[in-house]
Structure 1
Amino acid sequence: MHVDVMTTPQPLQDIGGLARRTHDAGFSGMLFTETGRTPYMNAALAAQAAPDLELSTGVAVAFPRSPFITAATAWELQEATGGKFRLGLGTQVRTHVVRRYGVDFEHPGPRLRDYVLAVKACFAAFRTNTLDHHGEFYNLDFITPQWSAGPIDAPDPKVDVAAVNPWMLRMAGEVADGVHVHPLGEPGYIARHVVPNVAAGAAKSGRSLDDIAVIVPVMTIVGDTDEERQRERELVRASMSFYGSTPNYAFIWDEAGFEGTTARIREKQKAGDFKAMAGQITDEHIATFVTESTWDGLADALIDRYGDTATRIVLYNALSDPDRFERYGEVAQRIRTR
């Protein structure tokens, strides 16, 4: 099982140092989210600073960029990393896509499916100089040598998608190379939804679950005393309330035995009371959704929870305290060598 560190994109002058530190700490790679900064330039600089790291976007927002531009960017990063780049794509949510990016969001699931196939068609075109994709949302059929990235001495980049509901999980299994599980994806949800639906999608395209990477971000609370764990506990509580406010994710709480959690969080959110939002996340929520452990026990705890299902785990809050980053790296090394 590979172990990556999750990070929001950093100022470009800082990313090289972080990439070298990540490599030296013992992580498999870095996963770059997309927030106010884009992930691709961070990945490019990380590739130059720490060539042995595996790099991925987790996830880049798809719809504001044309499939061709996304494919060309991924192609260059795959070349720069010597084949160690994964392109992770997601839809984001309607408000961001329409009101922040200014593009369409209709039929996001089928649109993302078509987008992934269009990106893969562009990869083929870079090698063959023939572009021929005609889908429900994207039609691409023009390329010349001048406007092609050209072949590279590496396999095509893997394309992963973020998925939560059963339809999206089946789609990921059918057309993608991996699936990014939601940060609220506790083991019960993975067993009930991720594994069977991704497997069903993979079977539809003549593949098996083993052909699809299952990439799981994991929240952790770690320390040898409760005082040491307390700061992370409150950070995790706030993160869980942020993710738990999205109506589409309500079923994850409900099925885990916490019915109505999303409604209660949204009530506080509408009042602008962010402290009260976090207050809706009880210690019982945390025990179900978060891995809490001593430092010596963390590797075993993570393997016990995710070893049978995850291809890669991504330590969500390894960077929450820079002074403990190397200790998380030691845990990553222990997991990787099991």
Structure 2
Amino acid sequence: MHVDAMTMPQPLLEVADLARRTQTAGFSGLLFTETGRTPYLNAAVAAQAAPGLELSTGVAVAFPRSPFVTAATAWELQEAAGGAFRLGLGTQVRTHVVRRYGVDFEHPGPRLRDYVLAVKACFAAFRTGKLDHRGDFYSLDFITPQWSPGPIDVPDPKVDIAAVNPWMLRMAGEVADGIHVHPLGEPGYIRRHVLPNRAAGAEKAGRSPDDIAVIVPVMTIVGDTDEERQRERELVRASMSFYGSTPNYAFIWDEAGFEGTTARIREKQKAGDFAGMAAQITDDHIAAFATESTWDGLADALRSKYDGVATRLVLYNALADREWFTRYGEVAQQLS
């Protein structure tokens, strides 16, 4: 099992040191989210600073960038990383895409499917000089040597997508190389939805489900005393309330036995009561959706929970503390 550390993109002058520390600590790779800073520049610096470290975007926002621009960026990163880069893409939500990025968001699922196929068509064009993708949302049919990065000596980048609902999961199984599971994706949800829908999509495309990675971010609560774990528990509670406020994810709570959680969180959110949002996440929620352990027991706890359902684990809060980062790296080595 590969184990990555998750980070928000950092100021570029800090990325090289972070990448080297991640590699030295024993993680398989470093996964960059996309927030106020873009993940691609961080990945470029990391590729130069820590050769051999696996790098991924988890996830980059797709629609504001043309498929060709995304493909060319991923192509250069794959070359720089020696074949160790994964392109993770997601739709984001309507408000961000329309009001912050200023681009269309209609039919996001089918649009992302077409986007992935367009990106892969660009990869093929960089090797062959022929670009021919005609989809429902993107049509690309012109390339010349001057405007192509040309072939590289490593395989095409893997293209992973963020998926939550059954349609998106089936689509990922059909056209993508990996699935970024949502941070609320506990093992029961993965078994009920991710694995069977991945298999259905793969069967439709004549592929093996094993060829599509399942990339799972895990929230951990670790410490050798209850006091240490309590601090972590409150950080996880706040994170879960943030993710749990999105209506599209309500069914995950409901199916796990916590019906109405999203509605209660949103009621507090509308009132601007952030402490009240976190208070809707009980210790029972945390026990079901996070992994709590002593340091000596963490590797076994993660293995027993995610063996057979995850290809890659992404440690959500490994970077919260510099000392803990080293200890998380030791756990990553045990799992890898």
Q: Which range, TM-score by smaller chain?
A: over 0.9
Name the structure 2 match of 1:286. Answer: 286
Aligned to 2:37: 37
Displacement of 1:323 in angstroms is 2.1
CA deviation after TM superposition for structure 1 residue 85, in Å: 0.2
Deviation at 1:52, TM superposition (A): 1.4
The residue that corresponds to 1:131 in the other structure is: 131
Matching residue's letter, 1:152: I
What amino acid is the match of 2:212?
Answer: I
In 1: Cα distance, 2:293 partner to 2:244 partner? 23
Identity of aligned residues (%): 85
Deviations 1:49-86 (A, max 9, x none): 10110000000000000000000000000000110000
Instruction: Provide the residue aligned with 1:316 in structure 2.
Output: 316
Alignment partners' CA distance in 2, 1:295 and 1:272: 36
Alpha-carbon distance in 2 for matches of 1:210, 1:191: 14
Distance across 2 between alignment mates of 1:187 and 1:214: 11
Aligned to 1:257: 257
Residue 222 of structure 2 corresponds to 222
What pairs up with 1:88-103 in 2 under 5 angstroms? 88-103=88-103
- With the length of structure 1 as denominator, give the TM-score of the two structures: 0.99
In the other structure, the counterpart of 1:166 is 166
Within 1, Cα distance between the matches of 2:284 and 2:249? 18
SS of the residue 2:34 aligns to? coil
Structure-2 separation of matches of 1:323 and 1:334: 18
Kindly report the root-mean-square deviation, in angstroms, between the aligned alpha carbons of the 2 structures. Answer: 0.5
Q: Helix, strand or coil for the counterpart of 2:328?
A: helix
Q: Give the counterpart letter for 1:286 in structure 2.
A: I
Secondary structure, counterpart of 1:160 in structure 2: strand
Cα drift, residue 232 of structure 1:
1.0
Please name the residue that 1:53 is paired with.
Answer: 53
Q: Which amino acid aligns with 1:12?
A: L
> Could you tell me which amino acid in structure 2 is paired with residue 32 of structure 1?
F
How far apart, CA to CA, are the structure 1 residues paired with 2:166 and 2:306? 20
Aligned to 2:152: 152
1:79 aligns with 2:53: no
User: How big is each residue's C-alpha offset from its partner over 1:194-229, in whole Å with a ceiling of 9 and x where there is no partner?
Assistant: 000011001111112111000000000001101111
Q: C-alpha distance in 2, partners of 1:324/1:156? A: 35
- Tell me the CA shift for residue 156 of structure 1: 0.4
Per-residue Cα deviation, 1:155-212 (whole angstroms, up to 9, x for no partner): 0000000000000000000000000000000010000000000110011111121110
SS at 1:296's partner residue? coil
1:307 maps to 2:313:
no
Matches of 2:288 and 2:329, distance apart in 1: 24
CA distance, structure 2, for counterparts of residue 274 and residue 51 of structure 1: 41
CA distance in 2, matches of 1:308, 1:139: 39
Q: What stretches of structure 2 of length at least 5 have no aligned partner?
A: none
Equivalences, count = 336
- Within 2, Cα distance between the matches of 1:286 and 1:198? 27
Partners of 1:227 and 1:20 in 2: CA distance: 31
SS in 2 for 1:276: helix
* 1:26 match: 26
- 1:117 matches 2:117: yes
Report the 3-state secondary structure (helix = DSSP H, G, I; strand = E; otherwise coil) of the residue aligned with 2:105. coil
| Match in the other structure for 1:333 | 333
3-state SS of paired residue (1:319): helix
